[in-house]
């Protein structure tokens, strides 16, 4: 019988634990392990939700996007003290800064097993149509320097897609003794029941923050092209404006587009699966992803996907089977594939069923967690204990 382990998960937002790690935490706790959830951004409500999963929440200070080295040193020292007090057997850090400072702190605290997971490389590694700014390149160089300091502290590294491993580790000659490709953090598929799509009318859905790198501007341009040919075509955009982001859609632009009745805009919603169920085709023309959760959700429900042939997105679509891959930054190509579904609505449920099959095979959270347990050196988990 395996001895129970102390496991420290180091993330940032409290919501990332109960939103994306809930099944992992529940399964670890059910197996008798003690789980600590280290969060740098959380409300009291967040902490209660983490406790309800059976984990022990611990707060620490970290500026997610800040470049203040003194603040980051403070975060490192605080994490080191927390880990020395907890004395975990395993640390699993995710997101860029926790992977950097969490694992350096874990090494300093003499944690036996240190694992990092990057679910995408972020804005600084995302190509832009007009090229990256000098500031973005500088920030990326700083990030790479920090990774060069942190990666030697790691025992194992996890990426969601092979492009991220290549673009970070191969290009910058970073070494970790064991590297794994997870292929998506997965979904509890019981929460996303399959349904046949309504195809009269054909409805297209975009989900994501209204940011340039999510492809929202290309999507809007493509809508105009499609509507010039099919004025009654239906489009919905779900997601909030990120007012802090330079590449965000501006509120006045959004207001004008809503007035124009170009698409339906309910804003940020929490009942995403209801919106997916009510749509025909899911569209995400992103510039780069880890493996996008919204696409996994759409596929699990049985919707075909149109997405870009870029890292992360290309992991979700077999071109011509469960949807289409289109070139990035190309609204004309995107519009052409949306018109295909309007002109061939019978293909929506044919391709949607293929999406469902791919999701069952690749995005089942219990299969993903089985891999994570193996990476952490824990005994195999029971099937579908959630």
Q: Indicate whether 287 pLDDT > 90.
A: yes
What is the tally of structural domains in the chain? Answer: 2
Q: What string of DSSP letters covers 47-96?
A: HHHHHHTT-EEEE----SS---HHHHHHHHHHHHHHHHHH--SEEEEESH
382 within domain boundaries: no
| One domain, residues 114 and 220 | no
| pLDDT higher than threshold 90 for residue 380 | no
Average pLDDT over residues 297-322: 98
Sheet containing 264-267, strands listed edge to edge, beginning at the edge strand earlier in sequence = 264-267, 234-238, 203-207, 281-284, 305-308, 323-326
Whether residue 154 sits in one domain with residue 221: no
The verdict on 207 and 176 lying in the same domain is: no
Q: How confident is the model at residue 176 (pLDDT cuts 50, 70, 90)?
A: very high
pLDDT of residue 2: 61
Q: Determine the pLDDT at residue 217.
A: 95
- Assign 16 a pLDDT band (cuts: 50, 70, 90): very high
Task: Encode pLDDT of 191-218 as tens digits.
Answer: 999 999 999 999 999 999 999 999 999 9
Q: How far apart are CA 259 and CA 324, in angstroms?
A: 31
Q: What pLDDT is attached to residue 385?
A: 44
Least confident of 143-147, 154-158, 246-250, 274-278: 246-250
Instruction: Give CA–CA dist 199/192, Å, rounded.
Output: 20
Alpha-carbon 126 to chain mean position: 14
Q: Once rounded to an integer, what is the mean pLDDT over residues 222-247?
A: 90
Residue 296 forms part of a structural domain: yes
**178 and 206 together in one domain:** no
Q: Is residue 236 part of a domain?
A: yes
pLDDT, greater one: 144 or 259:
144
With 90 as the cut, is the pLDDT of residue 220 above it? yes
- 97 domain residue, yes or no: yes
Q: What is the pLDDT of residues 57-116, one digit of tens each?
A: 999 999 877 778 899 999 999 999 999 999 999 999 999 999 999 999 999 999 999 999
Q: Residue 249's domain spans which residues?
A: 189-362
Same domain, 112 and 229: no
Backbone angles phi, psi at 86, to 5 degrees: -75, -40
Give yes or no for residue 382 having a pLDDT over 70. no
Mean pLDDT, range 324-329, rounded to an integer: 98
Beta-carbon-side half-sphere exposure of residue 371 (alpha carbons within 13 Å):
17
CATH number for the domain that contains residue 23: 3.40.50.2000
Residue 1 lies in a domain: no
- Peptide bond preceding 360 in cis form (omega within 30 of 0): no
Structure confidence at residue 241 (pLDDT): 85
* Residues 160 and 271 placed together within one structural domain of the fold: no
Does residue 35 share a domain with residue 125? Answer: yes
Q: What is the 3-state secondary structure (H, E, C) of 218-247?
A: HHHHHHHHHHHHCCCCEEEEECCCCCCCCC
Q: In whole angstroms, give the CA distance from residue 1 to residue 168.
A: 39
User: Residue 386 above 50 pLDDT?
Assistant: no
Q: Please report the pLDDT score of residue 246 as a whole number.
A: 67
Tell whether 341 and 370 lie within a shared domain.
no
Instruction: Clarify whether residues 174 and 201 are in a common domain.
Output: no
What is the distance between the alpha carbons of residues 249 and 266, in angstroms, rounded to a whole number? 15
Tell me what the mean pLDDT of segment 335-347 comes to. Answer: 98
Q: What is the pLDDT, as a whole number, of residue 192? A: 97
Residues 202, 161 within the same domain: no
Q: How far apart are CA 362 and CA 78, in angstroms?
A: 37
The mean of the pLDDT values for the chain is: 94
Q: Where do the H-state alpha helices sit in the chain?
A: 15-20, 22-30, 44-52, 69-86, 96-97, 103-108, 134-150, 162-165, 216-229, 251-259, 272-277, 293-301, 331-343, 346-362, 365-375
- My answer on whether 71 and 86 are in the same domain is yes
380 domain residue, yes or no: no
In a domain, 251, yes or no: yes
Q: What is the pTM of this model?
A: 0.93
Q: What are phi and psi of 95, to 5 degrees?
A: 80, 155
Residues 334-340, mean pLDDT to the nearest whole number: 98
pLDDT at site 158: 98
- Find the angle CA(339)-CA(235)-CA(210) to the nearest 5 degrees: 115
Residues 255 and 347 in one domain: yes
pLDDT of residue 125: 95
Mean pLDDT of 267-279: 95
Judged against a pLDDT cut of 80, whether residue 367 lies above it is answered with: yes
Predicted confidence (pLDDT) per residue in 107-158, tens digit: 999 999 999 999 999 989 999 999 999 999 999 999 999 999 999 999 999 9
In a domain, 385, yes or no: no
What is the C-alpha separation between 24 and 48, in angstroms, rounded?
A: 17
């Amino acid at each position: 019988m395996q001895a129970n382990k102390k496991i420290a998960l180091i993330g940032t937002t409290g919501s990332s634990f109960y939103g994306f790690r809930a099944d992992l935490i529940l399964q670890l706790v059910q197996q008798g392990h003690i789980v600590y959830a280290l969060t740098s951004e959380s409300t009291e409500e967040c902490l209660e939700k983490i406790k309800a999963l059976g984990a022990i929440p611990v707060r620490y200070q970290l500026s997610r996007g800040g470049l203040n080295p003194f603040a980051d040193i403070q975060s490192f020292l605080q994490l080191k003290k927390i880990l020395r007090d907890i004395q975990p057997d395993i640390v699993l850090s995710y997101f860029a800064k926790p992977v950097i400072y969490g694992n350096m702190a874990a090494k300093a605290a003499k944690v036996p097993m240190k694992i990092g997971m990057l679910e995408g490389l972020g804005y600084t590694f995302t190509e832009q149509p007009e090229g990256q700014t000098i500031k973005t390149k500088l920030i990326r160089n700083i990030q790479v320097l920090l990774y060069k300091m942190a990666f030697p502290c790691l025992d194992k590294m996890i990426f969601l897609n092979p492009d991220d491993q290549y673009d970070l580790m191969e290009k910058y000659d970073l070494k970790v003794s064991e590297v794994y490709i997870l292929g998506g953090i997965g979904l509890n598929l019981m929460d996303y029941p399959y349904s046949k799509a309504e195809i009269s009318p054909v409805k297209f859905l975009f989900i994501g923050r209204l940011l340039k790198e999510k492809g929202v501007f290309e999507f809007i341009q493509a809508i105009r092209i499609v509507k010039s040919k099919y004025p009654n075509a239906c489009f919905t955009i779900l997601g909030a404006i990120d007012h802090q982001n330079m590449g965000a859609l501006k509120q006045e632009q959004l207001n004008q587009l809503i007035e124009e009745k170009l698409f339906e805009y309910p804003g940020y919603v929490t009942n995403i699966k209801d919106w997916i169920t009510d749509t025909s085709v899911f569209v995400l023309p992103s510039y780069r992803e880890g493996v996008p959760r919204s696409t996994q959700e759409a596929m699990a429900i049985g919707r075909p996907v149109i997405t870009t042939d870029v890292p992360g997105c290309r992991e979700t679509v077999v071109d011509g089977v469960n949807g289409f891959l289109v070139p990035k930054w190309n609204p004309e190509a995107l519009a052409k594939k949306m018109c295909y579904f309007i002109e061939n609505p019978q293909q929506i449920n044919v391709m949607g069923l293929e999406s469902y099959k791919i999701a069952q095979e690749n995005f089942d959270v219990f299969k993903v967690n089985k891999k994570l347990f193996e990476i952490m050196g824990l005994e195999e988990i029971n099937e579908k204990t959630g």
